[in-house]
Amino acid sequence: MSCSPFDVRDYYFKELAENERRLTEVHVKTCAHCREELDRMRGTEIALLALPDEEIPQRIGFVSDPVFEPSAFRRGWEALWSSAARLGFASAAMLSVALLVFSLTRPAPQASAPSPAITRAALETEVSKRVNDAVSMAVAQSESRQARDTQALLAASDRRHALETQEMKVRFEEYIEVERKRQNATMLASNDAGSPTGDVR
């Protein structure tokens, strides 16, 4: 069980952060137990380092042989796929080229092909025109019907007026005849009263 604020073995291998290292260093100066631990670590390491590195029995080297060398295309291809950055750049470049080719080869927009805004405006105009025509036709038909009715009423009135005039004329003639007869009768009566013997002639 370590009494150090941090593992003295990490401290020994210089694996602590700077502030941790300083705190442990202060502790180790005053802690005999941790100093012994460090001494044991040092002793073990020194013993292990008694096993020296050996020289390699045979040097390793490669010769340049074009037969075994990957082609420039293959090297580039492998380099492209082995790097996300290169692959991303290549994708962006391909997209740019595709956009450029599309913009250059795209057919010109046709004049007869109206834009959605134009189609909407024309449609509204057509609807308005048709509504106005329908209203005009309805008004014309109504006026025509009213004119015919008026004409018929006038004709009927004229006929009734003619009949009434004819009837009044007949009645007036009858009245005149009755009056003439009555005056004749009165005249005859007065004549009879002015001559006592009778004949006035």
Partner 1 sequence: MIFRAVEDTDLIRKACRGDVEAYNLLISRWERRVYNYLLRIVANREDALDLSQDVFLKAYQNLRKLDDPARFAPWLYRIAHNEAYSLFRKRRPEGETEELQPETLEGAATLGGNAVFPVELTLAVSSALHKLTADQRETVVLKIYQGFKFEEIAEIVSAPVSTVKSRLYTALELLKAELAPVKARGVS
DSSP alpha helix (H) spans, the chain: 8-12, 18-30, 32-48, 72-82, 84-105, 116-194
Interface of this chain with partner 1, residues 78 to 97, rule: CB under 8 A: 78-79, 82-83
From 77-85, 112-120, 145-153, 166-174, span contacting partner 1 (CB under 8 A): 77-85
* Separation CA 134–CA 129 (nearest Å): 9
CB-CB contact of 12 with 42 (8 Å): yes
52/109 with CB nearer partner 1: 52
Q: Tell whether residue 48 is a contact of partner 1 (CB under 8 A).
A: yes
Closest CA to 28 of 8, 52, 56, 50: 8
User: What are 38-47's contacts with CB under 8 Å, separation 24+?
Assistant: 38/8, 38/11, 38/12, 41/8, 41/9, 41/12, 42/12
User: Which span sits near partner 1 by CB under 8 A: 68-76, 95-103, 160-168, 191-199?
Assistant: 68-76
Nearer Cβ to partner 1 (85/111): 85
Reported as half-sphere exposure (CB side, CA atoms, 13 A), residue 195 has a value of: 10
With CB under 8 A as the contact rule, the residue among 18, 19, 32, 60 that binds partner 1 is 60
Contact at 8 Å (CB) between 34 and 28? yes
| Site for partner 1 contains 42 (CB under 8 A) | no
Identify which range of 10-18, 93-101, 132-140, 143-151 contacts partner 1 by CB under 8 A.
10-18
How many whole angstroms separate alpha carbon 185 and alpha carbon 189? 6
55 counts as binding partner 1 under rule CB under 8 A: yes
Q: Does 64 bind partner 1 (CB under 8 A)?
A: yes
Closest approach of Cβ 2 to partner 1, in Å? Answer: 11
Applying CB under 8 A, which of residues 5, 25, 33, 75 lies at the interface with partner 1?
75
SS3 label, residue 59? coil
Token output for 201: 């002639």
Q: Which stretch binds partner 1 (CB under 8 A): 57-65, 122-130, 145-153, 161-169?
A: 57-65
Nearest approach in angstroms of CB 3 to partner 1 is 17
Residues that bind partner 1 (CB under 8 A): 9-10, 13, 15, 40-41, 43-64, 69-70, 75, 78-79, 82-83
